[in-house]
Chains A and B, each alone.
Chain A
Amino acid sequence: MNVPKQTPEIFAILSRGNFISSNGSKGKLFDVISYEENYSLLKEFFSHTGYVLERGHNYFYFSQPDEQNLIMEKKLEQFSYYIDVMDFFSSMDTKPSVGTRYRVTQIAEECFSNERLKMKLLSLSRREKMVDKVAEIAGTLTQAGFFEQEDEDTYKVMDAIHYLEEVISLITIEEDGEQKNP
């Protein structure tokens, strides 16, 4: 099997639960995976490691079919946090569409002038300063691969944000009001 030379780098990123987005600094890796037969080749290659290489809209990630319930629960917990974060960003003037650049100070300023946003932010982080709160949630999204930090103050929304959007769109609210994730 003639896998691309960037395979270890790809594996290192994806196996940490991160995404490879086409619009990020690792865009070259995205191109490598997308190039001709590489996707199927790598999918096959990685299948031996227990990971399944998945393709989203302009992003790649690993999924694990057999996961322990505990890990899944943790992931769900994490996901509920992401939903709140997405809710926070979606309430802003600039919606978190792919490629959008956020400046921490700018978000903090908006929170100062928007009480609703401020309340949402308060519930998301326990840091003291507004700027630190914003930086914390932006950092969390960056760690997960949904954002990318471009400089000290600027974060860019990655293609992987589609993953969050898709999963959120899959949530159905049943009649008794209980939320369920299919």
Chain B
Amino acid sequence: MENRRILNRIIFINIANTDYSAVEIAGNTCFVGTNNMGKTTLQRAILFFYSANTRGLGISSSQKSFEDYYFQFPNSYIIYEIATEEGLFHVMVYRNNKLFYRFVESEFVQEHYISESEALVPKAVLGKFNENKVLYSDQVETFERYRNIIYGADPDKKYKKFGLMKGNANYHNIPLAITSIFLSSESVIKAEFVKECIANSISSKHTTIELKTIERQLRQFTERYHDIETFFRKENAQRSDLIRDNFAHIQQLKIKQRVLAGELGGALKYAALQKETISVQVHEKTELIARLEAEFREKDEQHRERNKESNQEIGALKSKLKEADKKLADYEDKGIVDLLREAEEKPQLQIELQAREHEYATLTAGFSDVEQQFKTLFDALENERKEFEHMLSTQGLQLDKKYHDDKNQLRDAYRKEESELKESHAANAERFRQLKTTHELELKDAEFKERELRTRKYFAQEVKLLNGHLEDIRVRKSDRTSALAVKNNTIDSLKKEGDHIREKNRITSEQYIEKNKQEVVSLEAQIAVIDEKLAVHQHAFFGYLQEHYPNWYETIGKVCNEEILFNKELNPKQLKKGIESLYGIQLDLSNVKVYSKTLEEYELERSGYRDRIAVLNQAFLDFREEQARDEQAKLASIGKKTAHLKNEIMQLDYEANQDEQKEKQYGLDLHDWNRKAEAQREKDLIEVYTAQETLKKEMATVKQTLDELQAVLKKELSKLDETFNDKLAKLTKTFSKEAEKITSQKEDRLADFEERKGKWQKEKSTVLKKKGIDDTRIKKLKKEIEDIRAALQNLEKNAELLNDYRKDKRELFDKVGEFKHEKEKLEERIRQTDNEFSHEKEAYTKRKKQLDNESRDLSGSLKNFVDGIHHFEQHFMGRTLYDRLRHLIEPAPAEHAEAGIIGLCSQLLANDTEFHNQFEKFRDNISEFAGRFRPDNHLNFKIGGTGGEAEYERFAAYLQEFYTENKIQISIAEVAKSHGMLIDAISSKMKALTEHKGRINKMIGKMEADFSKASFEDSKLIEYIKLKSEDSENKVLRKLQRITEFREQNPFLYGEANLFNTNNKAKSEIDKRSVELLGDLQRTINEEKHEEIRVQDLFELRFRIKEGKNDTGWIEKIDKVGSTGTDMLVKAVIYITLLNVFIKESTEKTARNFSVHCIIDEVGQISAPYLKELINFAEERNICLINGLPNESKLETHYNYTYKFRKDSNGYVKVVPLLTMTIEP
């Protein structure tokens, strides 16, 4: 029965090239065998017991895997039999696809596994166990679980009994160390190897710092930092301003272009429509003018015709008057007056002639009867008187009749003329009165028009439109003002909200930091207390007890407080062993709790505190990250809202600006229209006034004319009256004169008759008295007859002339006045028609002028439209600009454009030129701006591959958005966070790493202590083996340390929200420094090309070995120490020491009651005494050596077990014990 736990036996059943082998190895064991006999196979199987790792067995990748090589059959088993204080149990390892373990609570019994020389399958084996009531565990399916059980770390209590030892969390070091020693076939022991072993023994993989990751993070950070730095460069800020300005300008130009294109489209359609309408109108106007002209021509013709007749009549009258004048002059020349007077005396002459002839006949015929004679004479005289009286009365009657006839004729003529005059006047007056009425109506019209003009709203449509626009602007303005107020208020409240969030976070952060700091400080104080205790424990009572009094916790630990335990001045001395009393008094301490803590407990407590600090730090980071994220999220949301609002405000401002300009323009336009309206009103009023004036004048003229006509009528009537009266008077006078003449003639003749009667009486009386005859009388009578006859003859001669005269007088001379009057009338008519025609002509001229003007205006408009369309077709349609804007131009609805088509085309072309100029600048600015950033900068300032117009605009829009949403702040926050996290990560990783430094030093100390015991006092072969650690030379580690130190110095100041804040100089210095440190680290990582920083990089290890007279000095690797044997020995010593230290470190600090195996192959070159010493050296440390020797020699005598390997006839390897269990003294 062993008094310790040890791997007692290893049994192979159908393993590799062995059918069955059982090897007892509960002590130093030596395997002897030539090469390829299975020594290493067995050693590997032993190693597998400790490591339970099929990969770490030194099987190269070209060889079969452990499972395939060892477990070739379903009934292949490796059995590990373990001896304990209580007895034996064994572990069976078998394969069912993968490897499984079962712990069996009995020693290995061959029959359980092999029946009839045939190995059983696991199921059968279990059947055997059941048969024999052998207890066995469940199938252990993982290597980890198996290791936990073997190394006593499994939490399941039922497996506790299967533990080889009571390992702690670091028990992994033991299998690792055993494996490392087995695998370390190199002849050179490098400090690196030892360092690695130390590292492996005290740390897990998680403590290594992956430099690749850090470098990647650093690169990411520095790149991002650089991006932000670039962003904040002055010239970039200026350029981004320029880009945004350019962009705004370009956008405006585009908007303007769209508006202009729309206007142009509208104007073109409008022009096309107007062209048709106006053409029709122009045509109509032309026709109207032509018609008007024709009508006027016709009227002119008629007028001429009318005048021609009158003129002809006037001509005829004129010729008549002329003829009358001429004839009258002729008649006067011919003495028509005398002739007429003589002609009037003709009847008188004829009577006179008759009387004289009768008288003469009487006188000459007889003197007989004087009585008779005288009677006849008297009768004749009486007859003559009577005849004369009768002639006179006839004459008087004729005269009277003529007088009355003439008078009547005169009156009739007068009446006729008067009525004619009146008629003519009435016609004229009527015409003028009509004219006057027309003028009066026109005047009324004009007055109405004037009134209408005074109240008329000129350009009402335009003014209404403008007023509508202005009203719209006013409405928009008030809307905008309220919207602006609301938005500004919202921005203010958002800003306040942001400030509030920041302030709240600052306060929370400060509170948290303060609390965290306090906790950390208190934990650090507690750590410091523990550190202090641990620093002094070796020299205090505690140290003494640890060293000299195992299990002191159960006794002294229950009655001593820490003050005593860590007192250095107690000078403890053990007087007697095994007495468990307090100053001679025995106490039952079973129910008393332990005051003191073990070293491990202190370390555990300290690491607990450290963990707590780490947790606090992590919590701080988490808190800050969470807070930063939260704050960023909130602020970003606020920023976005603010930016959105600002954008809207900007838009509103822009609109306000636009509206203001428009308002001004509309105001000006309105003013212009009003001015135009007033001008037009004035012009129209002036026209109306002029028309009124003209009408008034014309009316006055008409009135005057009417008055004149009245006057003329009056005058003519009075003249007519006068003429009539004159003529009547003349006629009456002539009549009176004639009557008087007749009366006087009668009186004369009557007197003459009386005188002749008297004379005749006297003569009769004389004759009667004397009777004689007187011839004188006869002669006188004869002469008188002849004179009368000559006068009558003369009258006869001029009778034709007189007849002609009388005819002419009747036809011409008497009608001269009539002719003259007729002529005047005709002339007056001509004047009137001329006057009428001139009015018509004036109206025509006026109308024609108006129509001409209208036609000219229309033609002008038409020309404008036609020219515009022509210009568009000739100079615009062919351009690419048109193709670009076609989609805007074509669908635009018809609308009048003030600027006109040509103007719009010019504006569009100018706009396009301006656009291209601006765009070129814009593109250059963007290229330069984006060019300053890395091609794949995280701010995303990149120009896409196509690089087209849209891409640059997208870039500018993104830049705009970037600024408005203040995205740089998010970026800064992210970078600051990654900066803080990087530093924290580095710092915490470094802390985790450097935490091991104490343990490293302790381990090195222990190793050194162990080495000092390996002086081989008997042979004095090795004088000493020394080990020391130095500070690491790793440059990356140094940089990491500097960062950690920096973190320590500035625990709560570095890498806060804003890395680019230049307001706080001290903080900005710290930030700068931290960024520099990170930059340095990145550079160093790139230069040094390390992949990771491990525990072993924390220190440098140096050996110093003195063997005989050979002193290696402080060296990094043990290459050759003396001869081969010595060399091997020294290395074996080092390996064993390492294993021992690891075991100590990895198991509970109780009395060591187990042994492990140290497998070192090929030890043949060590001399026997040294081997003996080595074995002893190992044995002192509860380590059994398993060595391999190629050949038998005397060396094997030093081992507890020696086995020789040989093959049987079947080719199976057999392991044969060589010696008995006796060891040479």
When chains A and B are docked, how far (Å) is the Cα of A94 from the Cα of B1142? Answer: 70
**Is A142 engaged at the interface, CB distance under 8 Å to the other chain?**
no
Indicate whether B471 reaches chain A with its CB closer than 8 angstroms.
no
CB < 8 Å neighbour of B935 from A23, A97, A101: A101
Instruction: Tell me, in angstroms, the Cα distance from A160 to B795 when the chains sit together.
Output: 147
Q: How large is the interface on A (under 10, 10 to 19, 20 to 34, 35 or more residues)?
A: 10 to 19
**A98–B924 CB distance below 8 A:** yes
From B137-145, B583-591, B926-934, the one touching the partner chain is: B926-934
B1211 at the interface (CB under 8 A from A): no
- Residues in chain A near residue B923, CB distance under 8 A: 97
| A23/B945 contact (C-beta < 8 A), A97-B923, A97-B924, A98-B924 known | no
Nearest chain B CB to A139's CB is how many angstroms away?
A: 18
Roughly how many angstroms separate A22 CA and B932 CA in the complex, as a whole number? 8
Within 8 A of B (CB), among A12-34: 22-23, 27
**B: interface residue count bin:** 10 to 19
Q: Which residues of B contact A97 (CB under 8 A)?
A: 923-924, 927-928
A22: B residues at CB distance < 8 A: 235, 932
Q: Does A134 contact B (CB under 8 A)?
A: no
A135-151 vs B, CB cutoff 8 Å, 1 = contact: the mask equals: 00000000000000011
A154 touches B928 (CB 8 A): no
User: Contact string, B929-950, partner A, CB cutoff 8 A, digits 1/0?
Assistant: 1111001000000010101000
Determine how close the nearest CB of chain B comes to the CB of A62; give it in whole angstroms.
23
Closest chain B residue to A151, Cβ basis: B935
Interface class of chain B by DSSP: helix
In the assembled complex, how far is the CB of residue A43 from the closest CB belonging to chain B, in whole angstroms?
Answer: 22
Q: Which residues of B contact A40 (CB under 8 A)?
A: none
Q: Which residues of A contact B927 (CB under 8 A)?
A: 97-100, 157
Contact for B931 among A93, A95, A99, A151, CB less than 8 A = A99
Interchain CB contact under 8 A, A23 and B947: no
- Give, as a whole number of angstroms, the nearest-CB distance from B927 to chain A: 4
CB within 8 Å of B: which of A79-105?
Answer: 93-95, 97-101, 103
Q: Which of B927, B928, B931, B947 has the most CB of A within 10 A?
A: B931
Let me know if B931 and A101 touch, CB within 8 A: yes
- Residue ID in chain B nearest A93 by CB atoms: B947
Cβ contact of B932, chosen from A93, A95, A99, A151, cutoff 8 A? A99
* Contact A94 B931, beta carbon cutoff 8 Å: no
Q: How far is the CB of B452 from chain A (nearest CB, A)?
A: 68
Rounded to whole angstroms, the CA-CA distance of A97 and B1130 in the bound complex is 73
**A154-B935 contact given A93-B947, A94-B947, A99-B930, CB 8 Å threshold:** yes
Complex Cα distance A156/B947, Å?
A: 14
Q: Is A114 an interface residue (CB 8 A)?
A: no
**Interface residue? A106 (CB, 8 A):** yes
CB closest chain-B residue, reference A156 = B931
Residues of A within 8 A of B929 (CB): 99
Contacts of B945 in A (CB 8 A): 103, 106
CA distance A150 to B235 in the complex (A): 22
Q: How far is the CB of A159 from chain B (nearest CB, A)?
A: 8
Chain B residues within 8 Å of A99, by CB:
927-932
Closest to A106 in B: B945
Q: Which interface residue of A22, A97, A99, A101 has the most chain B CB atoms within 10 A? A: A99
How far, in whole Å, are A95 and B922 apart by their CA atoms in the complex?
13
- Shortest Cβ distance from residue A94 to the other chain B in the assembled complex, whole angstroms: 5
- Complex CA gap A154/B947 in Å reads 14
Are A150 and B935 also in contact (CB < 8 A) when A94-B947, A97-B923, A98-B927 are? yes
Contact between chains at B947 and A157 (CB < 8 Å): no
Pairwise interchain contact A101-B235, C-beta atoms closer than 8 A: no
Q: Is the CB of B943 within 8 A of A23?
A: no
Bound complex: CA A157 to CA B945 (Å): 16
Once the chains bind, are A100 and B931 in contact (CB under 8 Å)?
Answer: yes
- Min Cβ gap B392→A in Å is 137
Q: What chain A residues lie within 8 Å of B931 (beta carbons)?
A: 23, 98-101, 156-157
Minimum CB distance partner of B947 in chain A: A94
Residues of B within 8 A of A93 (CB): 947
Report B-chain residues with C-beta under 8 Å of the C-beta of A58. 235
Cβ distance A150 to chain B, nearest Cβ, rounded Å: 5
B892-933 residues at the A interface, CB under 8 angstroms: 923-924, 927-932
Cα–Cα, bound, A86→B774 (Å): 172
* A27 to B934 alpha-carbon distance, docked (Å): 12
Chain A residue at minimal CB-CB distance from B929: A99
Task: Please measure, in the bound complex, the distance between the C-alpha atom of A154 and the C-alpha atom of B943, giving whole angstroms.
Answer: 13
Interface centre among A94, A103, A106 (most CB of B within 10 A): A94
The 0/1 profile, CB within 8 Å of A marked 1, for residues 205-228 of chain B is 000000000000000000000000
Q: Considering only CB atoms, which chain B residue lies closest to A25 in the complex? A: B934
- A94 vs B235: C-alpha distance in the bound complex, in angstroms? 23
Q: How far is the CB of B191 from chain A (nearest CB, A)?
A: 37
- The minimal Cβ–Cβ distance linking B230 to chain A, given in whole angstroms, is 8
Q: Report B618 CB to chain A, min CB distance, Å.
A: 36
- Of A27, A98, A150, A151, the residue contacting B928 (CB under 8 A) is A98
CB neighbours of A156 from chain B (8 A): 931, 935
Complex CA gap A154/B935 in Å reads 9
Bound-state CA distance A99–B927 (Å) is 5
CB A88 to nearest CB in B, in angstroms, measures: 17
* A150 to B931 Cα, complex, angstroms: 11
A154: chain B residues at CB < 8 Å are 935
Q: Mark B585-606, 1 if CB is under 8 A from A, else 0.
A: 0000000000000000000000
- What residue in chain B is nearest A157 (Cβ atoms)? B931
Q: How far is the CA of A156 from the CA of B934 in the complex (A)?
A: 10
A99 to B933, CA, bound (A): 9
With a cutoff of 8 Å between Cβ atoms, the chain B residues found around residue A150 in the complex are: 935
Whether the pair A101, B943 counts as a contact (CB closer than 8 A) is: yes
CB neighbours of A27 from chain B (8 A): 932
A contact residues around B943 at 8 Å (CB):
101
Interchain CA distance A57-B937 in the complex, whole Å: 25
A23 near B924: Cβ-Cβ < 8 Å: no
What's the least CB distance linking B554 to chain A, in Å?
67
The docked-state distance in angstroms from the alpha carbon of A101 to that of B931 is 7
- Bound: A84/B1177 CA distance, A: 86
Q: How far is the CA of A11 from the CA of B947 in the complex (A)?
A: 37
B930 contact set on A, CB distance < 8 A: 99, 101
Q: What CA separation (Å) do A13 and B230 show in the bound complex?
A: 22
Please, how many angstroms separate the alpha-carbon atoms of A14 and B923 in the complex? 30
Residues of B within 8 A of A94 (CB): 947
> Shortest distance in angstroms between B227's beta carbon and chain A's nearest beta carbon?
13
A27 to B947, CA, bound (A): 25
B residues in contact with A95, CB < 8 Å: 924
Query: Which residues in A have their C-beta under 8 angstroms from that of B947?
Result: 93-94
**Residues of chain B lying within 8 A (CB to CB) of residue A151:** 935
CA distance A101 to B943 in the complex (A): 9
Residue of A nearest to B943 (CB): A101
How far is A2 from B931 in the complex, measured between Cα atoms in Å?
33
Considering the chains assembled together, what is the distance between the CA atoms of A103 and B942 in angstroms? 14
- The distance from the CB of B98 to the nearest CB of chain A, in whole angstroms, is 48
Q: Tell me which residues from 935 to 971 in chain B have a Cβ below 8 Å from any Cβ of chain A.
A: 935, 943, 945, 947
Alpha-carbon gap, A156 to B930, bound state (A): 10
Bound form: Cα–Cα A106–B943 in Å: 14
Q: Write out the residue numbers on chain B whose beta carbons fall within 8 Å of the beta carbon of A103.
A: 945
26 pairs, A vs B, C-beta closer than 8 Å: A22-B235, A23-B928, A23-B931, A93-B947, A94-B947, A95-B924, A97-B927, A97-B928, A98-B927, A98-B928, A99-B927, A99-B928, A99-B929, A99-B930, A99-B931, A99-B932, A100-B927, A100-B931, A101-B930, A101-B935, A101-B943, A150-B935, A154-B935, A156-B931, A156-B935, A157-B931
In order of increasing CB-CB distance, the 7 nearest A-B pairs are A99-B931, A99-B928, A99-B927, A97-B924, A98-B928, A100-B927, A97-B927
Give the interface of B toward A (CB within 8 A): 235, 923-924, 927-932, 935, 943, 945, 947
For the A-B complex with A98-B931, A101-B943 known, give 16 more contacts whose Cβ atoms are closer than 8 Å.
A27-B932, A94-B947, A97-B928, A98-B924, A99-B928, A99-B929, A99-B931, A99-B932, A100-B927, A101-B930, A150-B935, A151-B935, A154-B935, A156-B931, A156-B935, A157-B927
Interface residues of A (CB under 8 A from B): 22-23, 27, 58, 93-95, 97-101, 103, 106, 150-151, 154, 156-157
